[in-house]
Chain A
């Protein structure tokens, strides 16, 4: 009898513990998902937009799209290395090529949570057989700065970690603003990235968060170009080189494509000269030398660390 009671008590406790270890959340796709209370092994379905914010929040990201088995990026840009440095603990495994996930490899990593992007519904149905899949919206148009990281922190119970990091970051903002030659508050900025064409950088990145927190206001470029670009187009939206030269922000922030091997000021200027010849003679910000050059691989992710890289570049420019 005693054995029976003990067994029942153990079973009851185990069941209670099992329930206590998971909780129900509604993801950004409106799905109700049972996720672990404290996720230990996460697979991220996008490196820059999902994996990096999770790593910054202290989660153990064990697999990501676009990585080889040895952790090397199969693309020209390695965002993890660019943003967090060459940290051996961040050797994250791959889950197969983009578009053809290796389900066997993914399962072998034994994830307890998979975090995908808002529209990866078809994939999530397949992946749910391996681990719960939480879909996080990353480009719906309402995100800005490092809001994705803030939302992930809230969803997975790491708000305190996020708040500490943000507080430290805001102190750094004050420090850098004080070091600038003049108070940036009220001045306008235009951030561009140079791919095959010039593109205006939208809101989702640590770079834009830092620039705005310093006090710069977005230059209203959308209403000053001939073709008003579509909304909700993600990280950047193309501008014609002619339209670009007509814009008149107080500060110009320029970065080269993340795929580019050259992020130096000379390299970026040369690329921009090839696309928009004479831009530096037309634009007021260029004539007044109000230009900050950034490394897009460091600053383009929606993380606090990317925002800190941006502040470092502004501090350097202020000197």
Chain B
């Protein structure tokens, strides 16, 4: 492993396997992982039960017991932090993948209708088959998301249409499904619509070791996605024509990217509900921290998404008190100002460059 300079003059770490990673990307990732760790530590001490850092460390060292402190750490806060990391990472990864695929900075699982597909499937279950066991719900969400993914592939053709076509078809599908869910809510008994409203607001409240065990395999799917699809997505960033000229097999890779996005999104939606705007925001913030593409962009997006959700969850527990502050709203409150500031700073940089 040696540190050298790339053709553009930036310093890169060159591994023996031939893998090149920019030093700036590594530093950004290191910084983000440190921030996630710091946020997780603060989050462990944030909540109704007063817990100091020492108490938290001692409890983690001792392992779970029947006390209130152990309950707060092991049964409430730790599962929420881990779920936040995984769900935030998954949604951000999906957003980054879809933005490259569609060559559109606004693309995210919500805009393409993937989240809505999962939500609609869950609502159909809630309304028409209320006695369905809870364990079936993730599968239903997956089915709904896959159905939308298949519909998008069918509508845009296997690889012949451009990114804008995917985006426009996605918006059309999302709008149609939104109308369908509105009608379902209208005919849903109030008990069900109350439960739906709570779930649609997005919350990590249901995080538990069981739900983590269910979600982890889906999150693990993100690792091969980053490793295997990163290179393809770098080609997509330059447009379909260039991607093809670089040897990218569009009819093969487009459906794979879409299906991966569907699997990650559906699992996240069934675990915590929809977290709006995260898929758009996280890749943009990652790109601001370290402008890059391919695998590095995906990894940085995952880290930013995880950090945003962990911090947002901490906000709902620590600062909101009894004011209803859904996690989805906390993410928006936290992320949107950062999003606006980064856009402004980027515009100012561009003006200075001219």
Contact = CB atoms under 8 A, between A and B. Distances in A.
Answer yes or no: do A and B interact: yes
Interface stretch (A82-90, A226-234, A250-258): A226-234
A125 interface: yes
Contact of A235 (B131, B190, B324): B190
B327 A100 contact: yes
Contact of A101 (B75, B205, B323, B326): B205
A232 to B, nearest CB: 5
B321 interface: yes
B325 A232 contact: no
A138 B192 CA distance: 11
A46 to B, nearest CB: 8
Contacts of A125: 134
A105 B197 contact: no
Contact of B192 (A30, A119, A235): A119
A99 B76 contact: no
Contacts of A99: 197-199, 201, 203, 205, 324, 326
B189 A105 contact: no
Interface in B197-227: 197-199, 201, 203, 205-206, 208
Interface string A67-82: 1110000100000000
A126 B205 CA distance: 9
B16 interface: no
Interface string B279-297: 0000000000000000000
B325 A100 contact: yes
A132 interface: no
B48 interface: yes
Interface size class of B (residues with CB under 8 A): 35 or more
A118 interface: yes
Contacts of A126: 205-206, 208
Interface centre among B206, B317, B322 (most CB of A within 10 A): B322
Interface residues of A, number: 38
B150 interface: no
A227 to B, nearest CB: 12
Contacts of A160: none
A68 B205 contact: no
Nearest to A110: B68
Nearest to B208: A126
A167 interface: no
Nearest to A97: B324
Given A99-B198, A103-B75, A119 B187 contact: no
A100 B189 contact: no
A247 interface: no
B320 interface: yes
A121 B325 contact: no
A126 to B, nearest CB: 6
A234 B189 contact: yes
A232 B130 CA distance: 14
Contacts of B208: 126
A261 interface: no
B202 to A, nearest CB: 9
Contacts of A105: 48
Interface in B65-84: 68, 71-72, 75-76
B191 interface: yes
A132 B320 CA distance: 28
Nearest to B197: A99
A288 B54 CA distance: 74
A119 B130 contact: yes
Contacts of A104: 47-49, 68, 71-72, 76
B322 A97 contact: yes
A61 B5 CA distance: 69
Contacts of B322: 67-69, 74, 94, 96-97
Nearest to B137: A122
Contacts of B187: 230
Interface string B23-48: 00000000000000000000000011
B43 to A, nearest CB: 13
B75 A129 contact: yes
Nearest to B196: A119
B197 A107 contact: no
29 contacts: A30-B131, A67-B322, A74-B324, A97-B322, A99-B199, A99-B203, A100-B325, A100-B327, A102-B47, A103-B75, A103-B76, A103-B205, A104-B49, A104-B68, A104-B71, A104-B72, A107-B71, A117-B194, A118-B191, A119-B189, A119-B191, A123-B195, A123-B206, A125-B134, A126-B205, A138-B191, A139-B189, A139-B190, A140-B191
Given A97-B323, A126-B205, 11 more contacts: A99-B201, A99-B203, A100-B203, A100-B324, A101-B205, A104-B49, A126-B206, A139-B189, A140-B189, A233-B189, A235-B190
Interface of B: 47-49, 68, 71-72, 75-76, 126, 130-131, 134, 187, 189-192, 194-195, 197-199, 201, 203, 205-206, 208, 316-317, 320-327
